Homo-oligomer: A and B are copies of this chain.
Amino acid sequence: MERALQGIRVIDLSHVLAGPTATMLLADLGAEVIHVEPPRGDDAREYGPFVDRIDKDRSGYFISLNRNKKSLVLDLKQAKGKEILRELIKVSDVLVENFRPGTMDALGFSWEEVRQINPKIIYASISGFGHETLPDYANRPAYDVVAQAYSGLMSITGPESGPPCRVGSSIGDIVAGHQAAIGILAALFYRKSTGKGQRYDGSMVDGLFSIMENAVVRYTVAGDIPKALGTAHPSVTPFQAFPTRDSWIIIAAGADKLWAQICKALGRSDLAEDARFRTNPLRTQNREALVNILTGVLTRRTTAEWADVFEKDGIPYSPVNNVKQICEDPQIRFRDMLVEIDQPGIGKMKIAGSPLRLSETPGKVYRGAPALGEHTEEILTTLLKKKKTEITALRNEGVIN
């Protein structure tokens, strides 16, 4: 199988999640990603769950994000470490970093400095509020939960009239990572015609604000301040989770004709004639009454029993799968979305696969994640043409590992 990004080399100075998400997407597409780690390793190596015991090379969290990458340990506080990074920059296509703004400048690797070293490089930064900011925001620290709250996404997520809720995964980092991958790919495409490098300045807050969907225009056009609605949709009804005898089930009447089919499937064709529920706007207006009636019907059977009914009738439905259920789901397995890797030092383990299902150059998990510094020697020898004696000296000085 061919690889879309064959021959593209990425210097990955990033850590934990936003940057590593971007470089994971690029590595899955076949780029050579060299994860440059400080001697203590990417912080994510300290995040659980661990396989058997706490160890920098046994973090399931790190492994799932860093499959397909190489690891080179470099101390960037030492002059010789900086020199090696300079050499790497000369032979690379992309640099990715997600330090707090100012850190790369302090290290001597700002965009202005790096483009002097390699004018064709694509230099991608991801931070909480961005690098180009109002003065107050220049060094403001941000984590995912800060971006979820600041962007407004948290204010529309959670139960109706309840406390705000965080999206259960770190969507602030993850969306920013996807957008950085888009920016980098667009820049690589542009560079292929023009030879020009450029800078990408991504922000987690910008990223989440850009995916607020209709919430933004509801305010700017209509003056509404959207609120959280549990599982319900602000303008489509019924389109939410209902309790069943044993758990929950989703019903999604995304098109008007589905409503009559749903009523019939529930054995309540009378509801299709009910004047309060005849159209989607009416159903949305009378949501509370409708939800009460449907809850009364749906709690009489189990989720599996209702699933059989809806499946037969072609009604859009879903159980609310927990993580065990989805990991064991046959369709997820069929789509290669849970893949087994043979992780050196650990053996077989399962991580999420790539959703980038291209026919000729699919996103793929080629191999597991690197042990800390696993590729230091290989990269110094083959890419930077260092001699064994130089490598030994650098190692003795703690510049590499």
Shortest distance between the CB of A129 and any CB in chain B (Å)? 6
Q: Cβ of B321 and Cβ of A149 under 8 Å apart?
A: yes
**Interface size (A, Cβ < 8 Å)?**
144
Partner of A327 from B137, B216, B230 at Cβ < 8 Å: B216
Shortest distance between the CB of A266 and any CB in chain B (Å)? 17
Q: Cβ of A157 and Cβ of B164 under 8 Å apart?
A: no
List, in ascending order, chain B residues with CB within 8 A of A221's CB: 49-51, 60, 349
Q: Cβ of A186 and Cβ of B29 under 8 Å apart?
A: yes
Please encode chain A, from 83 to 115, with 1 for each CB lying within 8 Å of some chain B CB and 0 for all others.
000000000000000000000000000000000
List, in ascending order, chain B residues with CB within 8 A of A357's CB: 130, 132, 183, 200-203, 206
Q: A167–B157 Cα gap in the complex (Å)?
A: 5
Q: A337–B206 Cα gap in the complex (Å)?
A: 7
Q: Cβ of B352 and Cβ of A212 under 8 Å apart?
A: yes
Q: Cβ of A219 and Cβ of B327 under 8 Å apart?
A: yes
Q: A254–B100 Cα gap in the complex (Å)?
A: 13
Q: Does A354 contact B (CB under 8 A)?
A: yes
Q: Does A66 contact B (CB under 8 A)?
A: no
Please encode chain A, from 128 to 167, with 1 for each CB lying within 8 Å of some chain B CB and 0 for all others.
0110111011010111011101111111111100111111
Q: Cβ of A60 and Cβ of B171 under 8 Å apart?
A: no
Q: Cβ of A220 and Cβ of B157 under 8 Å apart?
A: no
Please encode chain A, from 206 to 220, with 1 for each CB lying within 8 Å of some chain B CB and 0 for all others.
110111111111111
Q: Cβ of B252 and Cβ of A335 under 8 Å apart?
A: no
Q: Cβ of B217 and Cβ of A351 under 8 Å apart?
A: yes
Most central of A134, A145, A319 by chain B CB within 10 Å? A145
Q: Within A298-337, which residues are at the interface with B (CB < 8 Å)?
A: 311, 314-327, 330-332, 334-335, 337
Q: Does A273 contact B (CB under 8 A)?
A: no
19 A-B pairs (CB sep. < 8 Å): A4-B189, A29-B186, A143-B316, A145-B241, A157-B157, A157-B166, A158-B168, A164-B248, A165-B230, A169-B212, A169-B215, A182-B182, A183-B363, A198-B361, A206-B332, A216-B327, A216-B351, A220-B350, A225-B324
Known: A152-B321, A169-B211. 5 other contacts (CB 8 A): A157-B165, A158-B165, A169-B215, A187-B360, A216-B350
3 closest cross-chain pairs (CB), A and B: A156-B168, A60-B217, A185-B185
